[in-house]
Structure 1
Amino acid sequence: MKSQAEIVVVGGGIYGVSVAYHLFKMGKRDIVLLEKGEIASGESSHAAGVVTQFATSKTMMQFRKYSIELWSELGFFNHVGSLRVASSREQLKELERSVSRARAIGMDVEIISPSEAVKIMPQITDKDLYGAIYLPRDGHLSPYDTTTGMARLIKEMGVDVNTHTRVTGIELSPKGEIQAVITDKGTIKTNLIVNAAGMWAPRLAAMVGVPLPTTPVDHQHITVKAVPGHEFPKNTPCLRDPDNLVYMREEQGGLVIGGYEPNPLARWIDGTPWEHSNATLPPDYDRFEMLLEGAIRRIPFLKDAGIIDITCHPGAYTPDCQPMLGPLPGVHGMWMLAGMSLNGYGGAGGMGKLLAEWIIEGEAPMDVYAYKATRFGNYFTDPLYAAERTREGVKYYYALRFPNDENEWARPHQVSPVYHRTQELGAVFGEKFGWERVLYFEPGKKWRRAGADQRAWGWNKPPYFDRVGEEHRATRERVALFDLTSFGKIEVTGADALALLQRVTDSNIDKPAGSTIYTQFLNTRGGVEADVTVSRLSDDVFWVITGSGFIGNDLAWLQMHMLDEKDVTLRDITLDYACLALWGPQARSVLSKVTPDPVSNEAFPYLAGRFITINGARLWAQRVSYVGELGWELYLPNNRASMIWDLLMGAGKEFNMEVGGYKVLDSLRLEKGYRYYTTDVTQLETPFEGGLGFCVHFDKGDFIGREPLLEKKQKGFATKLCTLVLDGEDFTQIYGGEAIYHEGRVITRVRSGGYGYTVKRNILLAYLPVELSKPGSRVEVELLEGRFIAEVTASVLYDPKGEKLRA
């Protein structure tokens, strides 16, 4: 074994060998791969090997397409095609929605009829069959042969592959930089580790002091014998039947059948034993019975099939069931390729290539925000909580989850200090990143937690539509109070705090104390990595305010971009402060009744921040608004939150103040054309394309992304984020991601959509070619009810001059 290497890959499963292969292909020659057992001795050897390119995420679709191409090129893949069927009307609607989203990101796919599906796969029954999609380039492979074949290939290329070599420790420098990998066979000096250790990835991350929320969850599949007279030919398409919770593929004239049961079993939540390898676990026939019954409903003659064996093996899953990619927060030089069990061989080729490019180029070449290893922060360090979130995610991998459904397990996990006050007012709570958050209120009714609510109304208008309208009108016409405590809050302090923030943002942060700046973090290509406000509380104290689900990534971005700033302290203060938002034309009237401090427009202008006092409690108030109305966000100590809530509610009675939830925020912000990060603006769009060019201050000096952004501005942009409206005032459901057509051709997709109660129109945001971005241009949007004409309007539909904000 070598004593030094440029890159050490830990893990000899399909992801480890894939990233090693791609690193070598891209010019890296000094690579060591370590595997504690044999190659493919973890979950890689037990996968079913069923691979599809179908996805509604453009990034995931690209991963899968590339993987299929790679496995095919290397001779591992069988292109037998695949069918995904809908066995209920609700699933057909979901399939239609998914097909529209897939078309919008470049996939050639369409719904086929039950009779067409049966013609492609005559073994299935048309009973309770409502439609399907067929993808001829899909197929399957042998997991063991593919992984071991790749391992042989990289060894021949020149990668130093070491089996039966377990990592026992990792050496770090005082600055948290990788220095060496310690194994039971010796030490390897290195500055870069790829953690592709599968179920053992958390144990490897723990060696550098970073908790990793992946949980092993059991997965079972059976192999059944061929039924005489009903043998499956070699070219039988793979079959996925989400309503019946199963997938199937041909093997030796019979089938391999697997699926996802509604009560998944997690194990080893405190860490997978080192001694576990490729041994299967005792099967649970009772747990598999419902999956077998589902398979028989779709292929009735399987009731006569004999079972050859049943395989039970755990796989590593994350709380949101998405992969973990990229640099690990808190340590320099460890890169993640873990939590992959729901992606398997469909993701392995593409993700290995992506990570290799990311390591070499310093930036991911596609939008991987949803997969970043930094996204969980410290909010899933409780292994029991992480396991429950993971189990529920696995439950819904096949079972239909409607777009408005909420997580139900492991609740409540984190509540606001005014949680009980909102309960008393009939709050309906959703869940975001562990937080209980008010979706809307049902005055006069008992509070409740939303869950799989959309099953009750299906794909129709939601029953809360009118109530959200009341909250909307109250905010626009009077005043409303919101609990936004789940907002992420990062404190940046020290003599070098300003220098750091100036370098990572596109706006000029060097404003006087008492200023609040709306800004973005950019990557080296000028793409948007975060959308935040930065408030300067004093010369050396700043607060970065971000969304509930972004705190992990945003804090890690700041940590990873500290260079020569020695006197900077970063602190996540999210749990230390509540946040109440008071918004609406009468917001000043309400606030002035509870504080002696001046809040006039002259004393407290728009985008200012001040410490004010309410009943002896000192709090930070900043005059910003995500709804386009006069108002303040109030940041206050948790132990004063209930008292201040009560005072505001009392003061608001005179003005018929309402309380509002998160559902109405979307409606209000769409009327103002306000962006939501990760949907309207992503890592791939610059502020100029996303309509945020007003935030960019080139004259402040150098900042990350400045030069490519300046170059792109000079050259011009091909697309622009536009506001569109549908004809008519009647509500139409827009979920986001739907395909947009022009002259019969798909040209883009919906980013955000919703109903504007003030303008009485269905609103959507979408990137359009510049030539179609002028008001009056018309396109077609493919919604569940059919295709609708959408017309480009002015980007801001409500108060376009911002007079109400600045009143």
Structure 2
Amino acid sequence: MTSLPSSSKVVIVGGGIVGCSTAYHLAKMGVEVVLLERKKLTSGTTFHAAGLVGQARSNANVTQLLGYSIDLYKKLEAETGQATGWKMNGGLRLACNEERWTEVKRQATTAHSFGLDMQLLSPQEAQDLWPLMDIGDVVGAAFLPTDGQANPSDITLSLAKGARMAGAQIFEDVKVLSVDIQNGVIRGVVTEQGRIDCEKVVVCAGMWTRPFCAAHGVNVPLVPVEHQYIVTERIEGVTSTLPTLRDPDRLTYWKEEVGGLVMGGYEPNPKLWRDGSLPPGFHYTLLDNDFDHFTPIMELALGRVPALERAGVKQMINGPESFTPDGMFILGEAPEQRNFFVGAGFNAFGIASGGGAGMALAEWVAKGQAPFDLWPADIRRFGRPHFDTDWIRSRTYEAYGKHYTMAWPSEEHHSARPCRKSPLYDTLKADGAVFGEKLGWERPNWFADLAAGEGQADVYTFQRPNWHDAVGREHRACREAAVLFDQTSFAKFALKGPDAEAALQWIAANDVGRPVGSLTYTQMLNDRGGIEADLTVVRRARDEYYIVTGTGFATRDFDWISRNIPAGMNAQLFDITSAHAVLSLMGPRARDILQAVTRADVSNAAFPFGTAQTIGIAGCPVLAMRVTYVGELGWELHFPVEYASAVYAALHKAGAAHGLRNAGYRAIETLRLEKGYRAWGAEIGPDHTPDEAGLGWAVKLKKDIPFRGREAVATQRATGVRKMMATFTTAPDVILSGRETIYRDGTRVGWLSSGGFGHTLGLSIGMGYVRNPEGVTTDYVLSGRYELEVATVRVPAEVSLAPLYDPKMLRVKG
């Protein structure tokens, strides 16, 4: 038995493809790393993966990460001398009805936006590439030449060999029992064969990750799900160059395997494996085949490849795979414990993402931040509902069943709901609210006119959806009268302590050292100047701030703020989200309504924009914040949850004479697009700086106040930007939903980060960055002739760097 080292900078737990890839990349960076595998490399779930490697995703950086995997797999065998089974034989995706064809065309445009050569094919052209398939029901197909396939075990062993060549130490048959954490600091790991001192731990333990991490206070929401596929004997006509094939309308995927075929699928009624506990000694182990459960998939497959009926089945494989509640893998540093990293939950595309995920995780471990924005995969996207295993299992069941269903714009999940509810949930539901869900919170998306017989449910489509007119009503009411948004789901924090101002001045890019009652809109930046958070801050007292951020960013923003309080400063951060309800009163008649329910003076002179006051409404102390995200006069009203019904009733009673109506989040989206307001996770994020986003005015660069990211902003301001946020308008019959390609003078320069319809303008609106490696200026943006590629068709568009709608000047620009 080889003795373990006494110490290492980093210890990786788990020897599947992600663990070995992380070790490979850390070792290449010169980081001392030890990888421990409880049994043998690949013996958990990697060994039974199907091995398809695709790239196209709906997020640019996730697509980039998958593209990195392919670039790595191309060269890995030559580097290590270890076979990988990598073949870049391309990937086909079929469409068998008109709606699926629309989806595929939109996916092709997204691929073009991100620089991928996805080609649209006729049914016959698809069959020419894949002769064995029946194309009687095929409408069209997409082909990505750079997709491929790999042998999961071989590619993992190649990564392991490359890691050893670069200095990593890898030990098999070493079970990690625990991580030694003392006073919040990782000191080492304890194994069955002894202890290894270390500073950082990376858990890449597949379906074992959730229970292992939970024992150390770290939450990783994933569920093992049974996933079956078959491997056939040789079939005449199957060549080694056959592309991979995805047939989502028949829920199946295919790849060539030694002259035969691998065929598997994603059934709508998956089988979650066990109750979350895992059996001892489970390695190189498959589950019992469930022929009855697989039969519907087999029947669908036979309709596509009739030769399958005559083929011998060499092997049927049923193995558990880790799936997550949203179908995306999990990367990053755990918010509960510093220097505790996770790479898990790969939803049956761990081979496709393994190379890039290992690279990103290694960068995160070595440098303290990801190489680029990976918010869709960030472990901090989860929150309170994700601690409950039953909630996770319910949502994951739905996510697995949707793996190959249509990816509709604005589609909501239906499982595990309702979970977190505003006190006004039942009242709003009775008024026609159609709810969406974010981090477990039920939030009104729009309001159906029940008296007029409108259905109180979403009907999904790639055309104008059934809520379009209802959102238009709410949108116009906000522009012409007033609306009330229930935004109780906002994340709300309190920062308290004698050093609260000093701490927040360091973390925030804008100047928060203003008088009590001041409201400040600010970003929080990383060392590259990228925007890590986008929020509002109210100074409540000399030593207290009230911080408000988006619903979905509760975990992330709390983690960012708390971690960046400088050492030695006396300031504490508290999450007070559940204590406060929020009603946002917006519109030109908002002041009339608010004045009718309070004795406080809410005139412009007494209550200017960018300030906050405590006022009384219906016996309730209300923190009224004069701010807007829709471009109209308005206030966010924050108050204890027990007063919600009384405050809501008072506002509606006073608002009846002024045309007040309820409105939802989809109206907020259309309204903010007309104003050009940025959304974190779309227009802004860690890869975007304030100057690039048009938010340089919110940075205190002219003041002699240090803040994180200052040097990066100053350097960029001196040298100029290479991308700039702009707003685009096009004809009202063009459906924009985001990720459409931007062309300037015929050259691809970016993609839309958001898309929708402006009901005031009567035009479709999109926002996105205009990019140019040589630099971008205002003149460069405004001097171009623009087109947008929408579902592979180019349409003319107008560009603007100013808000399209300005109520102060009573004008719209279109």
TM-score range, shorter chain: over 0.9
Deviations 1:322-359 (A, max 9, x none): 12212111211111211123431111111111222222
The whole-number CA distance in structure 2 between the counterparts of 1:800 and 1:774 is: 25
Q: Which moved more, 1:410-419 or 1:72-81?
A: 72-81
The whole-number CA distance in structure 2 between the counterparts of 1:205 and 1:562 is: 26
2:210 match: secondary structure = helix
Name the amino acid aligned to 2:282.
H
- The CA RMSD over aligned residues, in Å, is 1.9
Contact 1:628 1:668 in 2 (8 A): yes
The whole-number CA distance in structure 2 between the counterparts of 1:342 and 1:565 is: 45
Q: Which moved more, 1:563-572 or 1:623-632?
A: 563-572
In the other structure, the counterpart of 2:365 is 359
Percent of residue pairs identical = 38
Q: Which moved more, 1:663-672 or 1:157-166?
A: 157-166
For the pair 1:659 / 2:665, whether they are aligned, the reply is no
For the pair 1:390 / 2:396, whether they are aligned, the reply is yes
In the other structure, the counterpart of 1:139 is 148
Instruction: Decide which of 140, 158, 164 is 2:173's aligned counterpart.
Output: 164
2:786 match: secondary structure = strand
The whole-number CA distance in structure 1 between the counterparts of 2:412 and 2:381 is: 20
Contact 1:225 1:305 in 2 (8 A): yes
Name the amino acid aligned to 1:205.
C
The whole-number CA distance in structure 2 between the counterparts of 1:202 and 1:112 is: 42
For the pair 1:19 / 2:27, whether they are aligned, the reply is no
The whole-number CA distance in structure 2 between the counterparts of 1:714 and 1:150 is: 42
In the other structure, the counterpart of 1:462 is 465
In the other structure, the counterpart of 2:789 is 782
1:380 match: secondary structure = helix
Deviations 1:524-579 (A, max 9, x none): 10011111111111122212211111111111111222331442222221122111
The whole-number CA distance in structure 2 between the counterparts of 1:81 and 1:536 is: 56
CA shift, 1:422, in A, is 0.5
The whole-number CA distance in structure 2 between the counterparts of 1:332 and 1:794 is: 41
In the other structure, the counterpart of 1:108 is 117
For the pair 1:726 / 2:735, whether they are aligned, the reply is no
In the other structure, the counterpart of 2:627 is 624
Instruction: Decide which of 248, 253, 265 is 2:254's aligned counterpart.
Output: 248
Contact 1:579 1:636 in 2 (8 A): yes
Q: Which moved more, 1:660-669 or 1:149-158?
A: 149-158
CA shift, 1:657, in A, is 1.0
The whole-number CA distance in structure 1 between the counterparts of 2:164 and 2:678 is: 48
CA shift, 1:786, in A, is 3.0
Name the amino acid aligned to 2:641.
N
The whole-number CA distance in structure 1 between the counterparts of 2:505 and 2:271 is: 48
Contact 2:517 2:611 in 1 (8 A): yes
For the pair 1:308 / 2:308, whether they are aligned, the reply is no
Instruction: Decide which of 411, 423, 429 is 1:417's aligned counterpart.
Output: 423
Instruction: Decide which of 52, 61, 64 is 1:62's aligned counterpart.
Output: 64
Aligned residues: 794
For the pair 1:319 / 2:322, whether they are aligned, the reply is no
For the pair 1:474 / 2:477, whether they are aligned, the reply is yes
In the other structure, the counterpart of 1:223 is 231
The whole-number CA distance in structure 2 between the counterparts of 1:615 and 1:139 is: 64
For the pair 1:493 / 2:499, whether they are aligned, the reply is no
C-alpha spacing 1:469/1:565, structure 2 compared with 1 (3 Å): farther
In the other structure, the counterpart of 1:796 is 803
Name the amino acid aligned to 2:617.
I
In the other structure, the counterpart of 2:587 is 584
Name the amino acid aligned to 2:708.
I
Contact 1:627 1:668 in 2 (8 A): yes
In the other structure, the counterpart of 2:188 is 180
Instruction: Decide which of 174, 190, 203 is 1:195's aligned counterpart.
Output: 203
In the other structure, the counterpart of 2:130 is 121
1:337 match: secondary structure = strand
Instruction: Decide which of 483, 486, 503 is 1:483's aligned counterpart.
Output: 486
The whole-number CA distance in structure 2 between the counterparts of 1:695 and 1:406 is: 34
The whole-number CA distance in structure 2 between the counterparts of 1:608 and 1:402 is: 40
Instruction: Decide which of 718, 721, 725 is 1:717's aligned counterpart.
Output: 721
CA shift, 1:211, in A, is 1.9
CA shift, 1:800, in A, is 6.9
The whole-number CA distance in structure 2 between the counterparts of 1:56 and 1:381 is: 27
2:153 match: secondary structure = helix
CA shift, 1:271, in A, is 3.9
CA shift, 1:474, in A, is 0.9
In the other structure, the counterpart of 1:205 is 213
In the other structure, the counterpart of 1:41 is 43
Instruction: Decide which of 398, 406, 425 is 2:412's aligned counterpart.
Output: 406
Contact 1:22 1:356 in 2 (8 A): yes
Contact 1:606 1:624 in 2 (8 A): yes
Q: Which moved more, 1:301-310 or 1:313-322?
A: 301-310
CA shift, 1:696, in A, is 0.3
Deviations 1:461-494 (A, max 9, x none): 2222222111111111111111111111122111
Contact 1:216 1:272 in 2 (8 A): no
In the other structure, the counterpart of 2:80 is none
1:23 match: secondary structure = helix
CA shift, 1:794, in A, is 4.5
Instruction: Decide which of 698, 701, 712 is 1:708's aligned counterpart.
Output: 712
2:102 match: secondary structure = helix
2:552 match: secondary structure = coil
Instruction: Decide which of 8, 29, 37 is 1:5's aligned counterpart.
Output: 8
Name the amino acid aligned to 1:603.
A
Could you tell me which runs of 5 or more consecutive residues in structure 2 were left unpaired when the two chains were aligned. 78-83
In the other structure, the counterpart of 1:645 is 648
C-alpha spacing 1:114/1:534, structure 2 compared with 1 (3 Å): same
The whole-number CA distance in structure 1 between the counterparts of 2:783 and 2:319 is: 57
CA shift, 1:204, in A, is 2.6
Contact 2:17 2:351 in 1 (8 A): yes
The whole-number CA distance in structure 2 between the counterparts of 1:338 and 1:540 is: 41
CA shift, 1:776, in A, is 6.3
The whole-number CA distance in structure 2 between the counterparts of 1:383 and 1:673 is: 40
Name the amino acid aligned to 1:613.
G
Name the amino acid aligned to 1:72.
K
In the other structure, the counterpart of 2:596 is 593
The whole-number CA distance in structure 2 between the counterparts of 1:178 and 1:448 is: 54
Contact 2:383 2:439 in 1 (8 A): no
CA shift, 1:281, in A, is 1.1
Deviations 1:182-230 (A, max 9, x none): 1111111111111111111122322321222111122111112334xx3
The whole-number CA distance in structure 2 between the counterparts of 1:275 and 1:574 is: 43
1:370 match: secondary structure = helix
The whole-number CA distance in structure 2 between the counterparts of 1:142 and 1:471 is: 54
State the TM-score, normalizing by the size of structure 2: 0.94
Contact 1:427 1:448 in 2 (8 A): no
C-alpha spacing 1:794/1:690, structure 2 compared with 1 (3 Å): closer
Q: Which moved more, 1:559-568 or 1:65-74?
A: 559-568
The whole-number CA distance in structure 1 between the counterparts of 2:503 and 2:455 is: 43
Instruction: Decide which of 532, 539, 544 is 1:541's aligned counterpart.
Output: 544
